Amino acid sequence: MEIDDNMMQVDDGIDEISPMTLGHYYQNLFPHALYYKWLNYNGKLATTEFTHREFSFTIKDGIYLRYQSFKDSEEFQRELSRLSPSKIDIGAIFTAPPKHAKSLQPGVFKPVSKELVFDIDMTDYDEIRTCCQGGDICAKCWRFMTVAMHVVDRALREDFGFTKIMWAYSGRRGVHCWVCDERARKLDDAGRKAVAGYLSLIRGGAEQGKKVNLTQRSAQHPHIVRSLEIVEEYFEDVLLVDQEILLTRDRWTKVLNALPDEELRKTMDAQWSKRPDRSSVDKWSELIDAVDKRAAKKGSKFGLNTFERDIMLQMTYPRLDENVTTHVNHLLKSPFCIHPKTGRVCTPIAADQFDSFDPFAVPTLAQLLREVNEAPSQSGSVAKSTSMAPYIGVFEDFVSTVLPTPVNSQPSLDF
């Protein structure tokens, strides 16, 4: 592919996200061919998987265009370049092309399928994380996303048998998961709600002390046992060292509120108040020793013997936005669009890169345009000559898993 001549005229120092800069991105860097292969699920010829798919675009001045649909990859590419949306959302596949929705009789236009999706946002950890709040993230709190991806990915693969899974960075403060197996795409709202419920463990608002309540039987479920193993691996480094959840009284109070023993809560609070400057690692060790001794005296019926397990899960287990998952027609931000707040590309994350993925290394629109300007003129993929290349590679590997297996590559049944 040749670089658009206008691309070379973009100011090297430009940082603005505008229709012009977005237009250059969609014309020269957006992975149209791979994107089409993914959402078409059937090679080159357009299927209803693509033609009946809803896209929504947010364009200049915040105008929101819903029920966009396209007959093929070429039309989609033309409209992206023409409209230069600041955001792309992907919706369901309907009984008819969504662009005809208003002309159809009531009840005819219905959603029939969509990828099973999950949204994990850092703001749902605001009551726990101490380094950042709101839309801000740092390397310390990003590790909550690392744990979340490990837990959810393994559950989807090992408990549900899904294999065609893509994770994506939201471009700012969270991650999205796209499960693309056919049986996942065919799930109705009830089925999606069941999966979301299976994966949800934290119950209760910010004012509730104890938010994990497991029965003796549910605690032995393979998903809980496996999740606890993952959580235990990260808990000390993430919660005690990075977040220092027991460093100050307002922080340790949140942990002590989950203790099912008021007398012990008061004892620990008084003990730590005398020496508040001790590390969270030391305080945690003291707390668990005190809980174990108390549990030995009072017995298991008081819930002390499960406190360590439950509080580790409460502080570290993934916090899903269930509403995103439970409805077939719920929209979710597309991979490879540009986040309007950060300018970063919403990039795929490989399953073997959960621990190494760095959201701050993800390229911005301004960075990519500068790289293209500085690169020598060339044919072929422009994106692969920029810092987008490794993310395109991850996407390419994923897309290869969702395409149908060619007939001539299937194993022979001849004897």
Cβ neighbours for 70, distance < 8 A, ≥ 6 positions apart? 50, 51, 55, 76, 79
Is 54 designated active site? Answer: yes
Catalytic residue among 121, 153, 321, 371: 121
Catalytic residue among 89, 115, 119, 261: 119
Cα angle for residues 318, 319, 323 (degrees, 5° grid): 130
Say if CB 52 and CB 98 are below 8 A apart. yes
Catalytic residue among 54, 115, 181, 261: 54
Cα angle for residues 7, 8, 11 (degrees, 5° grid): 95
Distance of CA 347 to the CA centre of its chain: 11
Say if CB 91 and CB 98 are below 8 A apart. yes
Is 119 designated active site? Answer: yes
User: What does the block give as tokens for 65?
Assistant: 């265009």
Say if CB 147 and CB 235 are below 8 A apart. no
Closest CA to 76 of 64, 90, 63: 90
Say if CB 324 and CB 332 are below 8 A apart. yes
Task: Show which residues are catalytic.
Answer: 54, 119, 121
